[in-house]
Structure 1
């Protein structure tokens, strides 16, 4: 089953390699650039697999979240603790 992924990222330091991040997002499957740093991807990857793939082109101070609307899952890196806690407390509520 294909996943409908929403990808959102922030690259926090100057001089980041946006091209590598964008290329990794596009390589996940059919895509649409929604706005700024938000993308839609129809992919064979699930949220965790996609996040690990994209995160490989990001720095540890960046942030990333990928939401799979088909499987109702999300996977993220380096979100603020209060954001992460809120998502975990309210997801599937």
Structure 2
């Protein structure tokens, strides 16, 4: 099983949170950590889980799924500079001192 952390931002007023939450809960055993941060024990990879949740979101919503088991992540609509920063620093252990 994979330890997934899922975080999202629904950008437009009147968003259908229930649809997104239902998609997250469908991935496996779950716990709501914070308002829009979830932990899921899942057989899905980060990419597979992101695709499932993404289908429940609007095109401009953002999403990140982090697989803590396999040190992997998948995201949509994250600021380009932030995405590049994460890709550059993902596996660098000394990167903790530098921040975006």
Q: TM-score range by the shorter chain?
A: over 0.9
CA distance in 1, matches of 2:66, 2:58: 20
Q: Any unmatched runs of 5+ in structure 1?
A: none
3-state SS in 2 of match to 1:14: coil
CA distance in 2, matches of 1:84, 1:10: 15
- Structure whose alpha-carbon radius of gyration is higher: 2
Query: Deviation at 1:60?
Result: 1.1
Is residue 16 of structure 2 the alignment partner of residue 25 of structure 1? no
| Map of 2:13 onto structure 1 | 14
Count of aligned pairs between the two proteins: 92
CA distance in 1, matches of 2:59, 2:79: 13
CA distance in 1, matches of 2:81, 2:6: 20
**After TM superposition, what 4+ stretches of structure 1 lie above 2 angstroms from structure 2?**
none
RMSD over equivalenced CA pairs, Å: 0.5
